[in-house]
Structure 1
Amino acid sequence: MNEITVWLPWVGNLRLDEPPENLEFYVMKSFHNFTEGTAKVYEFEDKLRYLDNLRKSLHAGSTDEHVRRLVCKRVEHIMDEQDDFPDRKDFLCIEFMEHCFDEGFMPFHDTYYFGSKSGNEECLRSILRIIRTVVNYSEEEYEKLLEEE
């Protein structure tokens, strides 16, 4: 199975298929540094921005490849449905652009398959641990964790 990683700000890449035991510590450290200097009133916005960055990291790859894949799927669909090769207008229409945009916001469970059932479960479990840690983050909890380290 391929090594599956996620990039955490101020920490770097971490493996999702074989996460460190103290994954929550790395996430808290990353989130703490990510929000350092931001007023407390923006905490919820920071959490959402952090999770958006997580999603971008998981979607990392060539946008060119993704667009090519969508265009190829569109060609196949039109050829299957209409028995005809698509025109240029089929790709310049709002419907296709909307489809491409929606593809960028696929839910986690529809987007990721990491190669094997056990590997996939571990990766998804790691993603969930990261999300849970960010959502439940508090400065007090982070300070307590630092004292233990």
Structure 2
Amino acid sequence: MTVGRTYVTEILKRHWLDLLRLRRHLKHRRPPDIPLNQVWGVDLTGKTNDTRQLHPILAVVEHGSRVALCLAALLNKAAWTLVGYLCLTIGRFGKPRFVRSDNEATFTGKVMRQFLQMAHIGHQRIPLVSHGAMGGWNGSLAP
């Protein structure tokens, strides 16, 4: 069965007010509740000081509420340091079901993998290009 363009145009003209109300209702509806501690986004970024020395910063964002759970300046990017900060964040906010990170070596290494397995937390690795959770923070951290 096919429908002609003229028929569709006349139906739209006849019901334009109903369509307008429906569009406004859909636009202003409340978004669905997403369960908390489902997925955490974890990323490393850096900030340079006056002597142009790069200091690593760990960011942990809860995807459901978009709350920054942890934003900490690190002394180094060692996996044990990241595991320590993740343990502190888990102790404060509870355990997530999944941790989502890019394919950086500190997140895919043996120490991090074993920690996530022991804690029964899934690891979702995504390409660096599509990691949008903390991507906007990289250039916007003030000194």
- Which TM-score tier does this pair reach, normalised by the shorter chain? under 0.3
| TM-score (structure 2 length as normaliser) | 0.27
Greater relative contact order, per chain length (Cα 8 Å cut-off, separation 6+): 1
| Higher fraction of helix | 1
Larger radius of gyration: 2
